[in-house]
Amino acid sequence: MSYRLLTQIAVLLIIAILCITRPMLFETFLSAQPTADFTQGTHGIDVSHDQGQVDWQKVAQSGIKFVYLKATDGITYTDPKYFQNLEGVKATNLAVGAYHFFEPEDDPQAQLDNFLNHIEGKSLSLTPMIDVELQRSQSAAQIKARLQQFLTALEQRTGCKPLIYSYGSFWQANIGVEFNDYPFWFAEYNQTMQPPAKLKNIQIWQYSQKGSVPGVDTPVDLDKVLNEQQGLEALKCNY
Q: Quick: pLDDT tens for 3-56.
A: 554 555 554 555 554 444 444 333 333 334 545 789 889 999 999 999 999 999
**Number of neighbours of residue 103 by Cβ within 10 angstroms:** 19
Mean pLDDT of the chain: 90
In the prediction, which pLDDT does 28 show? 36
Residues 6+ apart with CB under 8 A from 218: 50, 51, 52
Round to whole Å and give the CA distance between 114 and 122: 14
Q: Alpha carbon of 2 to those of 10, 11, 12, 15, 187: distances in Å?
A: 12, 15, 16, 20, 55
3-state secondary structure at position 205: strand
Q: What is the mean pLDDT of residues 49-70?
A: 98
Round to whole Å and give the CA distance between 204 and 187: 9
Using an 8 Å Cβ cutoff, are 44 and 20 in contact?
A: no
> Looking at the predicted structure, is the pLDDT value of residue 139 above 80?
yes
> Bridge partners of 187?
167, 206
Using an 8 Å Cβ cutoff, are 195 and 214 in contact?
A: no
Using an 8 Å Cβ cutoff, are 221 and 208 in contact?
A: yes
Q: Alpha carbon of 92 to those of 67, 80, 235: distances in Å?
A: 11, 21, 19
In the prediction, which pLDDT does 9 show? 55
In eight-state DSSP terms, residue 200 is -
In the prediction, which pLDDT does 239 show? 84
In the prediction, which pLDDT does 12 show? 56
What percent of the chain is predicted at pLDDT more than 70? 85
- Nearest Cα neighbor of 132 from 164, 163, 155, 176 is 164
What percent of the chain is predicted at pLDDT more than 90? 81
Q: What is the mean pLDDT of residues 127-146?
A: 98
> Looking at the predicted structure, is the pLDDT value of residue 237 above 80?
yes
Report, as residue numbers or ranges, the catalytic residues.
46, 133
29-33, 40-44, 61-65, 141-145: which has the minimum mean pLDDT? 29-33
Plot region of 146 (φ>0 → left; ψ -120 to 50 → alpha; else → beta): alpha
- Fold for 35-235, please state it: TIM Barrel (3.20.20)
- Nearest Cα neighbor of 122 from 101, 98, 144 is 98
> Looking at the predicted structure, is the pLDDT value of residue 187 above 60?
yes
In the prediction, which pLDDT does 203 show? 98
Using an 8 Å Cβ cutoff, are 43 and 63 in contact?
A: yes
In the prediction, which pLDDT does 37 show? 84
